[in-house]
């Protein structure tokens, strides 16, 4: 009769342990992969796909085209082609110049048309059909907020392109969304002291504001910081997007008693309203014993080109300018200029940087899984990407860095030489508490899409 | 008083553009019976003829300076406009006056575009329902826009008025107001006068020439004019060309006011259709009257005092008036009896 008791001698125990260990390797590997497949669009082949969602048609198409150029250049550099651009100056860098995590970087593009619904549809297509693991781009805060929310819901990372509204990393912030570009709060904090220094503290301002999230945000920030320095706001008038002829909004300014006009407009609206304000003789006018002034808080070189002569001497702020003299900016301008024959815009720079930062975060995390990438980006401190020392604040996924205050150049040396940097406001002066702008990042979404 | 006058002037120059576009639309509708949604694109094309003329006049000779390098290591380009090299001061004058000079090019180019559009596409839709006409002309407008965008990009391209009209006129002085109280851009005043002149020429042409008499007769009773042995079709083709010229001139002269982009025609088109409806479909005086009327009303509605009582009224005033006119007088202000009333 056999003894039913389990009797294990020392030899059997060692043999069993060795067998168990040998078996556990593939099992653990299987379990890890099985877990990894739980996130959206986990790359399984030799390539990783990024989705670049930019305005290819509509009013911001030229800006979108520049963003796309920058994305293509970033992909080229990540795959170890070209001169490497800012990959040579970026630190600390985990990038190896062989793609990301050994996979070649491929990309697909979409057209936002600068419309939230079209942008969401295009991003959804890139995620569902093209298996994009990260979405980037956009030239409008309305679009950025809409796509950021979609990326959160679908479980992919959104690296915002040009979006300036506080809401993107304020009340509408999301765990999967990250913004390198600055915001209206920073513009207000940086620009107001320069305005007060140049035009004095006893000023009466009249705001014309684009009637959507970015315009409201910009108006609020400029009012807050200029009023704190003694300025008074006579009136703030909302103008419809794409109004074209602003004469009916400009003429009341002439009789309002205001001596400063703040144009919270961007793109085509800015070009039109500024040009028309100058035509109405506002820059030649004396009000309250002072020279009348016009301020355009957010500048873009592409828009300055559109405004032509009217931009000369006008103050504003910008995220980056191609004439910066740091080594990183010079490397980027050289690389971009060689590729395309002209310097990059601020939109191009932020899109290039965002692609590099995403790739680097994947390398740091050792995975494409959103949880790992988010953890690597949160609180990441870096330098050598054109804006000096920068930090991705963990609390709201907003980059904090120095802000440039610029002025339209009086005597441009070339058609690209349009802005003159008048002040570099240090990060410490534009930083604010994350809770001030409200919102909630929400959870990491690791669900499959 | 000065605020009132300013808005009145605003209304006049805006009304001038509405009236010119609506005039062309009405000509096409009154003679050919076609609802032309590509008419705004003709306004845009006229503006881009002016842009092209400016680009031609500012074509530059490019010389590379090997002693200076761009930040990306290429030699710096030194650019000098050919026209200035060849013609000296006269060349500089031509560049400065490029917008008015472009009128010389706008007339033949727009006539050609109008005739090709009518012969090539529009005439095949005369007997088709208005819905088909709207669809095909709207599609054509999109095609024209995309072509312009392909060649000129999507961003607005600023055009300057001649230097002598760059500033503002002290209009207030005419009304005995202190200097500088009421200033208005010179070019906007000129645009209003230009619009009035073009409208007068079109009316004189239709009113005082035999050719115009036949067209007017055709607008009233096309069949009878045809029965009299007159080739009304050929005349109507020319009318379409004239409508294109009027839209093109309106667009070209508007470029110093609104930097042109490929989409500018659409923005004006919708408002101009409302102007045509308010003025009366097919009524030329109606289109002009409604153009100026709606332009002025739109300007007044955006006055701070008005908006304090009726917030947002400036956005809806034109459509509100269109609704009132359609409800109370469906034929429009000066429309013929029976049109749009059945």
Look up residue B163 and give its two tokens: 């230097």
Look up residue B211 and give its two tokens: 């050719």
Query: How many angstroms away from the CA of A256 is the closest CA of chain B?
Result: 9
Hey, are the CB atoms on B259 and A272 less than 8 Å from each other?
yes
| Spatial distance between the Cα atoms of B336 and B289, rounded to a whole number of angstroms | 15
Shared domain for A178 and A53, answered yes or no, is: yes
Look up residue B166 and give its two tokens: 């760059």
Give the pLDDT confidence score for residue B1 in this predicted structure. 62
**Of A283, A299, A318, which residue constitutes the final position of a domain?**
A318
Shared domain for A230 and A266, answered yes or no, is: yes
Whether pLDDT at B61 is above 70 = yes
Closest CA to B315 of A313, A408, A238: A238
Closest CA to A268 of A245, A238, A292, A293: A245
Query: To which residue do tokens 């419309």 refer?
Result: A115
A157: β partners? A134
> What residue spans of A162-212 are helical by DSSP H?
184-199
| Spatial distance between the Cα atoms of B192 and B184, rounded to a whole number of angstroms | 12
Does residue A8 lie in a domain region? no
Shared domain for A145 and A217, answered yes or no, is: no
Nearest to A306 among B14, B168, B259 (CB): B259
A233: β partners? A205
Whether pLDDT at B98 is above 80 = yes
* Domains contained in chain B, CATH given: 2-58+98-328 (1.10.3470)
Shared domain for A297 and A364, answered yes or no, is: no
Does residue A104 lie in a domain region? yes
SS3 annotation, B206-251: HHHCHHHHHHHHHHHCHHHHHHCCCCHHHHHHHHHHHHHHHHHHHH
Can you tell me the mean pLDDT for A259-274? 91
Shared domain for A113 and A61, answered yes or no, is: yes
Beta-strand pair A134-137/A260-264: unpaired
Give the count of beta carbons closer than 10 Å to the beta carbon of residue B316.
12
Give every CB contact of residue A25 below 8 A, 6+ residues apart in sequence: none
Can you tell me the mean pLDDT for A437-447? 94
Q: Which residues of A226-254 are buried (b: 16+ CB within 10 A; e: fewer)?
A: beeeebebbebbbbebbbbbbbbbbbbbb
Query: Which residues span the domain enclosing A173?
Result: 47-182+322-401
Can you tell me the mean pLDDT for B25-52? 90
A439: three-class secondary structure by DSSP: coil
Shared domain for A259 and A195, answered yes or no, is: yes
Give every CB contact of residue A162 below 8 A, 6+ residues apart in sequence: A63, A67, A138, A139, A140, A181, A319, A346, A347, A350, A351
Give B70's contacts in chain A (Cβ within 8 Å): 337
**Of A318, A336, A367, which residue constitutes the final position of a domain?**
A318
Q: Is A156 exposed, middle or buried (0-12, 13-18, 19+ CB in 10 A)?
A: buried
Give the residue, A92 or B283, on which the prediction is more confident. Answer: A92
Cis bond upstream, residue A329 (ω within 30): no
| Spatial distance between the Cα atoms of A397 and A384, rounded to a whole number of angstroms | 19
Query: To which residue do tokens 């300055």 refer?
Result: A304
Shared domain for A217 and A159, answered yes or no, is: no
Indicate the helix (H) or strand (E) that contains B341: none
Looking up residue A82, the CATH number of its domain turns out to be 3.40.50.2300
Query: How many angstroms away from the CA of B295 is the closest CA of chain A?
Result: 10
Query: How many angstroms away from the CA of B82 is the closest CA of chain A?
Result: 18
Look up residue B338 and give its two tokens: 């029976």
Query: To which residue do tokens 């006008």 refer?
Result: A314
Does residue A204 lie in a domain region? yes
Give the pLDDT confidence score for residue A437 in this predicted structure. 95
Mean pLDDT of chain B: 88
CB contact at 8 A, B333 and B280? yes
- Chain A and chain B share a number of CB contacts under 8 A equal to 120
Shared domain for A259 and A336, answered yes or no, is: no
Look up residue A121 and give its two tokens: 């549809």
Nearest to A334 among B73, B167, B263 (CB): B73
Q: Is A329 on the interface with B (CB under 8 A)?
A: no
Task: List the end-to-end C-alpha distance of chain B, in Å, as a whole number.
Answer: 44
Nearest to B10 among A57, A247, A256 (CB): A247
| Spatial distance between the Cα atoms of A444 and A152, rounded to a whole number of angstroms | 8
Give the count of beta carbons closer than 10 Å to the beta carbon of residue A17.
10
Whether pLDDT at B13 is above 70 = yes
Shared domain for A314 and A328, answered yes or no, is: no
Give the pLDDT confidence score for residue A34 in this predicted structure. 46
Q: Is B118 on the interface with A (CB under 8 A)?
A: no
Least confident span in A160-164, A309-313, B67-71, B173-177? B173-177
Query: To which residue do tokens 């980006």 refer?
Result: A377
Q: Is A272 on the interface with B (CB under 8 A)?
A: yes
- Please give the residue of chain A at the shortest CA–CA distance from B305: A252
Nearest to B167 among A256, A281, A302 (CB): A281
Q: Is B58 on the interface with A (CB under 8 A)?
A: no
- The DSSP output letter for A99 is S
- Please give the residue of chain B at the shortest CA–CA distance from A273: B258
Nearest to B71 among A240, A276, A343 (CB): A343
Give A335's contacts in chain B (Cβ within 8 Å): 72
CB contact at 8 A, B333 and B325? yes
Nearest to A271 among B13, B259, B314 (CB): B259
Whether pLDDT at A295 is above 70 = yes
Query: To which residue do tokens 């000023």 refer?
Result: A203
| Spatial distance between the Cα atoms of A266 and A31, rounded to a whole number of angstroms | 51
Q: Is B298 on the interface with A (CB under 8 A)?
A: yes
Does residue A42 lie in a domain region? no
Does residue A349 lie in a domain region? yes
Q: Is B273 on the interface with A (CB under 8 A)?
A: no
pLDDT digits (tens, 9 = 90+) for A104-134: 999 999 999 888 999 999 999 999 999 999 9
Does residue A264 lie in a domain region? yes
The domain total for chain A is 2
Query: To which residue do tokens 């009233």 refer?
Result: B220
Half-sphere exposure of A188 (CA within 13 A, CB side): 25
| Spatial distance between the Cα atoms of B201 and A58, rounded to a whole number of angstroms | 37
Can you tell me the mean pLDDT for A130-153? 94
Interface test with A, best of B44, B158, B162, B267 (most A CBs within 10 A): B158
What's the longest Cα–Cα distance across chain A? 116
Q: Is A206 on the interface with B (CB under 8 A)?
A: no
Beta-strand pair A293-298/A260-264: parallel
pLDDT digits (tens, 9 = 90+) for B289-315: 999 999 999 888 888 788 788 888 888
Shared domain for A313 and A340, answered yes or no, is: no
| Spatial distance between the Cα atoms of A101 and A359, rounded to a whole number of angstroms | 9
Shared domain for A63 and A164, answered yes or no, is: yes
Residue-wise DSSP of B45-102 = HHHHHHHHHHHHHT-EEEEEEEEEE-TTSPEEEEEEEHHHHHHTHHHHHHHHTHHHHT
Hey, are the CB atoms on B188 and A275 less than 8 Å from each other?
no
Mean pLDDT of chain A: 90
Give every CB contact of residue A287 below 8 A, 6+ residues apart in sequence: A257, A258, A259
Cα A308–Cα B179–Cα B11 angle in degrees, nearest 5: 60
Give the pLDDT confidence score for residue B27 in this predicted structure. 85
A207: three-class secondary structure by DSSP: strand
Half-sphere exposure of A135 (CA within 13 A, CB side): 37
Least confident span in A77-91, A363-377, B156-170? B156-170
Query: How many angstroms away from the CA of A427 is the closest CA of chain B?
Result: 27
Q: Is A338 on the interface with B (CB under 8 A)?
A: yes
Give the pLDDT confidence score for residue A1 in this predicted structure. 42
pLDDT digits (tens, 9 = 90+) for A331-358: 999 999 999 999 999 999 999 999 999 9
Query: To which residue do tokens 């082609």 refer?
Result: A81
| Spatial distance between the Cα atoms of A185 and A171, rounded to a whole number of angstroms | 13
Give every CB contact of residue A398 below 8 A, 6+ residues apart in sequence: A169, A173, A179, A183, A392, A434
- Please give the residue of chain A at the shortest CA–CA distance from B152: A62
| Spatial distance between the Cα atoms of B232 and B236, rounded to a whole number of angstroms | 6
CB contact at 8 A, A247 and A259? no
Shared domain for A147 and A235, answered yes or no, is: no
pLDDT digits (tens, 9 = 90+) for B214-259: 888 887 777 888 888 888 778 878 889 999 999 999 999 999 988 8
Whether pLDDT at A5 is above 70 = no
Does residue A3 lie in a domain region? no
- The DSSP output letter for A160 is E
**Of A383, A401, A419, which residue constitutes the final position of a domain?**
A401
CB contact at 8 A, A278 and A237? no
pLDDT digits (tens, 9 = 90+) for A13-53: 556 555 555 555 544 444 444 444 579 999 989 999 999 99
Look up residue A376 and give its two tokens: 């690597």
Query: To which residue do tokens 């805006």 refer?
Result: B14
Hey, are the CB atoms on A271 and B153 less than 8 Å from each other?
no
- Please give the residue of chain A at the shortest CA–CA distance from B301: A248
Cα B151–Cα A138–Cα A359 angle in degrees, nearest 5: 115
């Amino acid at each position: 009769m056999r003894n039913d008791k389990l009797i294990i001698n020392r030899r059997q125990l060692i043999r069993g342990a060795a067998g168990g260990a040998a078996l556990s390797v593939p099992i653990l590997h299987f379990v890890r992969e099985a877990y990894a497949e739980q996130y959206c669009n986990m790359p399984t082949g030799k390539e990783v796909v990024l989705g670049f969602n930019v305005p290819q048609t509509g009013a911001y198409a030229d800006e979108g085209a520049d963003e796309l150029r920058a994305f293509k250049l970033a992909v080229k550099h990540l795959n170890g082609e070209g001169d490497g651009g800012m990959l040579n100056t970026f630190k600390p860098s985990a990038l190896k110049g062989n793609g990301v995590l050994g996979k070649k970087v491929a990309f697909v593009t979409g057209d936002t048309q600068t419309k939230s619904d079209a942008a969401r549809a295009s991003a959804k297509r890139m995620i569902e059909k093209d298996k994009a693991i990260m979405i980037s781009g956009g030239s409008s805060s309305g679009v950025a907020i809409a796509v950021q929310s979609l990326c959160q819901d679908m479980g992919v990372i959104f690296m915002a392109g040009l979006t300036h509204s506080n809401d993107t990393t304020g009340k509408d912030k999301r765990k999967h969304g990250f913004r390198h570009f600055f915001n209206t709060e920073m513009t207000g904090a940086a620009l107001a002291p320069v305005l007060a220094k140049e035009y004095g503290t006893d000023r009466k301002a009249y705001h014309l504001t684009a009637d959507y999230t970015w315009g409201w945000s910009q108006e609020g920030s400029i009012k807050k910081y200029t009023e704190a320095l003694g300025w008074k706001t006579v009136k703030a008038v909302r103008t419809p997007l794409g109004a074209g002829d602003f004469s009916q909004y400009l003429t009341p300014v002439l009789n309002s008693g205001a001596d400063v006009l703040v144009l919270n407009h961007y793109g085509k609206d800015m070009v039109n309203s500024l040009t028309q304000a100058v035509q109405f003789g506002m820059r030649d006018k004396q009000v309250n014993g002072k020279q009348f002034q016009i301020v355009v808080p957010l500048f873009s070189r592409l828009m300055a080109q559109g405004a032509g002569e009217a931009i000369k001497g006008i103050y504003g702020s910008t995220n980056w300018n191609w004439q910066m003299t740091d080594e990183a900016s010079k490397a980027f301008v050289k690389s971009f200029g060689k590729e395309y024959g002209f310097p990059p815009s601020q939109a191009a720079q932020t899109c290039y940087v965002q692609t590099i930062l995403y790739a680097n975060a994947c390398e740091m995390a050792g995975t494409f899984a959103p949880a790992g990438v988010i953890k690597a980006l949160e609180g990441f401190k870096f330098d050598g990407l054109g804006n000096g020392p920068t930090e991705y604040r963990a609390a709201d996924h907003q980059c904090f860095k120095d802000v440039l205050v610029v002025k339209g150049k009086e005597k441009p040396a070339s058609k690209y030489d349009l802005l003159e940097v008048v002040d570099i406001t240090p990060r410490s002066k534009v930083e604010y508490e994350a809770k001030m702008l409200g919102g909630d990042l929400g959870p990491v979404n690791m669900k499959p899409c | 008083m000065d605020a009132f006058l300013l808005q009145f002037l605003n209304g006049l120059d805006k009304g001038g553009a509405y009236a010119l576009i609506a005039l062309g639309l009405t000509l096409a509708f009154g003679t050919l019976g076609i609802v032309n949604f590509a008419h705004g694109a003709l306004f845009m094309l006229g503006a881009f003829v002016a842009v092209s003329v400016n680009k031609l006049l500012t074509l530059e000779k490019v010389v590379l300076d090997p002693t200076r390098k761009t930040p990306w290591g290429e030699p710096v380009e030194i650019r000098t406009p050919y026209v200035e090299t060849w013609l000296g001061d006269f060349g500089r004058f031509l560049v400065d006056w490029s917008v008015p000079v472009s009128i010389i090019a706008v007339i033949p180019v727009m006539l050609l575009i109008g005739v090709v559009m009518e012969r090539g596409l529009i005439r095949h839709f005369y007997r088709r329902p208005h819905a088909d006409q709207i669809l095909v002309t709207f599609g054509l407008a999109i095609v024209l826009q995309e072509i312009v965008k392909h060649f000129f990009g999507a961003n607005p391209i600023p055009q300057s008025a001649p230097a002598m009209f760059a500033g503002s006129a002290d209009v207030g002085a005419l009304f005995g107001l202190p200097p500088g109280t009421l200033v208005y851009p010179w070019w906007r005043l000129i645009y209003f006068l230009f619009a009035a002149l073009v409208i007068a020429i079109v009316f004189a042409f239709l009113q005082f020439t035999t050719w115009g008499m036949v067209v007017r007769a055709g607008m009233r009773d096309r069949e009878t004019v045809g029965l009299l042995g007159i080739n009304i079709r050929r005349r109507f083709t020319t009318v379409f060309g004239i409508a294109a010229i009027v839209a093109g001139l309106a667009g070209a002269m508007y470029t110093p006011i609104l930097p042109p982009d490929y989409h500018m025609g659409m923005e004006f088109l919708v408002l101009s259709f409302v102007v045509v409806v308010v003025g009366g479909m097919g009524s030329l005086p109606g289109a002009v009257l409604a153009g100026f009327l709606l332009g002025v009303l739109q300007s007044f509605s955006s006055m701070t005092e008005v908006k304090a009582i009726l917030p947002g009224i400036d956005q809806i005033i034109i459509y509100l008036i269109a609704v009132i006119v359609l409800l109370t007088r469906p034929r429009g202000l000066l429309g013929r009896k029976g049109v749009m009333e059945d």
